[in-house]
Amino acid sequence: MEIFGYPAQAVLSQLVIGLVNGSFYAMLSLGLAIIFGLLNVINLSHGALYMLGAFATWMGLDYLGLSYWAMLILAPLIVGLIGVVIEKTMLRWLYKLDHLYGLLLMIGLASFLEGLLQSFYGASGVSYSAPDALNGAADLGFMVLPVYQAWVVAVSLVVCFATWYAIERTRLGSYLRAGTENPRLVEAFGINVPRLITLTYAFGVGLAGLAGVLAAPTVQVSPQMGSNLIVVVFAVVVIGGLSSIVGAIVTGLVLGVAEALVSLFYPQASATVVFVIMAIVLVLRPAGLFGKER
C-alpha cells in the first residue's frame, strides 16, 4: 500500500517517530509556555538549562555513581534550584522593564553557560548510556521501536498532563494564574506572590532539566545541544500561543510529526518546516493557534 508514493510502512513508522520527538518538544516547550504565560519572561536560556540537566545526569553517574533513575529525580531538582538562583538574583530586577531586557538577559546567560561548560568538557561532549532496563527495541511489525523512545513518550505525556492539570485545575494553579494577572490583589489575600513566581520559574526550568535527563542517553551530551534545539522549541511555543499550555503540548506533538514526515519527503527541509509553519501561523493568526493576543 502506498501513501503519496511512499510505502505505508515508512509513513507509519515516521508517524510514530514524530510522536516520540513531538512529545519531547511538547515537554520542553511546556516549560517555556509556563514561564511566559505566568511570568511574561521569554526564557531563551531554556536550551542551556536543558543542557545542564543532561550534563547533571552525566555528572551524577561519572562523579557520584548515581544511577539514571536517581538522576531522573535529582537533575530536575538541581536545575530548578539553579532557576531559583537565576530568578532571585537576576530576573527579579527586570520585571518592571520592557520584555526585551528579560530576553537579552536570557540570551546572555545561555551563551555564558555554554561557554563555561565547553571550557571544561570540550565541544564533542560526553557519552551517556541508557540504563539496561530501558535498552533494546520492540518489534512492532511495521517498524522497530526502541524501548527507550517509548519510555520518553510515556514520561513526557504523563508530565504534560500532570502539569496541565496542576495549573488549570488545582488551587495552587489558580493562585499562579491570578498572581500574574493581578499580583497586588492576590498579595492582599495573603499569598506570597514573589515566592510563587520564583517557584513557577523553577518549575518551568525544572521541566527543561527533566527533558535533559530524558535526552542524555539518546543525544550527544554537548554544550551546544541546547542551542540547536532552542530555536525550534521557541517556534513551537509561538505557534501554539505563547502562554497557552495546551497550545504548547498539542503543537509540540504536531510539529514533531510534521518534521518526521518531511524528513521522508524532503529531508533537507525538516529543520526549516517549523519556521515555514510559524510564519504562516503568525501572519494568519498572530496570537498562535491557542493563544490570546496580549
Partner 1 sequence: MIDRKVAYGLAVVVLLLAPHFVYPLFLMNVLCFALFACSFNLLIGFAGLVSFGHAAFFGGAGYIAGYVLATLHWPFALGIVAGIVTGASMGLGFGLLAARRNGIYFSMITLALAQMIYFVFLQAPFTGGEDGLQGIPRGTLAGLDLTNDMTFYYVVLAITSLGYALMLRVVHSPFGQVLLAIRENEARAVSLGYDVTRHKLLAFVLSTSLAGLAGATKAVSVGTQTLTDAHWAMSGLVILMVLIGGMGTYFGPVIGALVIVALESKLGDFGNLLAETTHVDWFRQIGVSVTMVTGLIFVVCVLTFRRGIVGSMLALSRKAGGQGARQHG
Partner 2 sequence: MRFGAFCCAAITVLSAGWSIQASAQISGDAVKIGFLTDISGTYADNDGQGGVEAIKMAIADFGGTVNGKKIELLYADHLNKVDVANNKAHEWFDQDGLDMMIGGANSSVGLALAKLSAEKKKPFMAVTAATARLTNEDCTPYTVAYAYDTISVSRGTGGAIVDQGGKTWFFITADYAFGTSLQDETAKVVQAKGGKVLGSVRHPVGASPNFSSLVLQAQASKAQILGLATSGGDLINAVKTANQFGVNKTMHLAAILTHITEINSLGLNLTQGMYLTDSWYWDQDDESRAWSKRFFAIVHRMPTAMQAADYSATLTYLKAVKALDSDDGDKVMAYMKTHPIDDLFTKHGTIRPDGRMVHDMYLRQVKTPAESKYPWDYYKTIRTIPGDQAFNTKAESQCKLWK
Q: Which residues bind partner 1 (CB under 8 A)?
A: 42, 90, 93-94, 97, 99-101, 104-105, 107-116, 118-119, 231, 234-235, 238, 242, 268-269, 271-272, 275-276, 278-279, 282-283, 286-287, 293-294
One residue of 14, 29, 198, 251 binding partner 2 per CB under 8 A: 14
Contact stretch for partner 2 (CB under 8 A) within 4-12, 30-38, 64-72, 186-194 = 4-12
Stretch 213-242 residues interacting with partner 2 (CB under 8 A): 218-220, 222, 224-225, 228-229
Size of the site for partner 2 (CB under 8 A): 46
- Give the DSSP letter of residue 126: B
> In one letter, which amino acid is 165?
Y
Kindly state the smallest distance separating residue 188's Cβ from partner 1, in Å: 29
Burial class (CB in 10 A: 0-12, 13-18, 19+), 289: middle
With a CB cutoff of 8 Å and minimum separation 6, the contacts of 68 are 57, 61, 130, 131, 134, 213, 217
Distance CA 151, CA 138 (A): 12
Q: Quick one: 1 or 97, whose CB is closer to partner 2?
A: 1
Q: Is 111 in the site for partner 2 (CB under 8 A)?
A: no
Q: Give min distance, CB of 167 to partner 2, in A.
A: 26
Alpha-carbon dihedral 95, 202, 23, 221, rounded to 10 degrees: 110
Q: Choose the contact partner of 170 out of partner 2, partner 1, none; CB within 5 to 8 A by kind.
A: none
Question: Of 136-175, which residues contact partner 2 (CB under 8 A)?
Answer: 136-137, 143-144, 146, 148-149
Q: Rounded distance, CA 62 to CA 290, Å? A: 43
Residue 263: contacted member of partner 1, partner 2, none (CB under 5 to 8 Å, by partner type):
partner 2
Q: How far is the CB of 270 from partner 2 (least distance, A)?
A: 6
Residue 82 beta carbon to partner 2: minimum distance, rounded to whole angstroms: 22
Q: Determine the 3-state secondary structure of 287 from DSSP.
A: coil
267 scored as a contact of partner 2 (CB under 8 A): yes
> What does the DSSP assignment read for 249-268?
HHHHHHHHHHHHHHHHH-GG
- CA distance linking residue 222 with residue 159, whole number of Å: 25
Residue 132 touches which of partner 1, partner 2, none (CB < 5 to 8 A by kind)?
none
Cβ-based neighbour number of residue 16 at 10 Å: 18
DSSP three-state, residue 201: helix
Contacts with 201 (C-beta within 8 Å, 6 or more apart), sequence order: 35, 39, 41, 43, 83, 84, 86, 87, 91
Residue 6 Cβ, how far from partner 2 at the closest point, in Å?
10
Using rule CB under 8 A, residue 122 touches partner 2: yes
Rounded Cα distance between 177 and 171, Å, is: 10
- Rounded to whole angstroms, the Cα distance separating 204 from 32 reads 7
Q: Which parts of this chain interact with partner 2 (CB under 8 A)?
A: 7, 9-10, 13-14, 17-18, 20-21, 24-25, 115, 118-119, 122-127, 129, 136-137, 143-144, 146, 148-149, 218-220, 222, 224-225, 228-229, 259-260, 263-264, 267-272
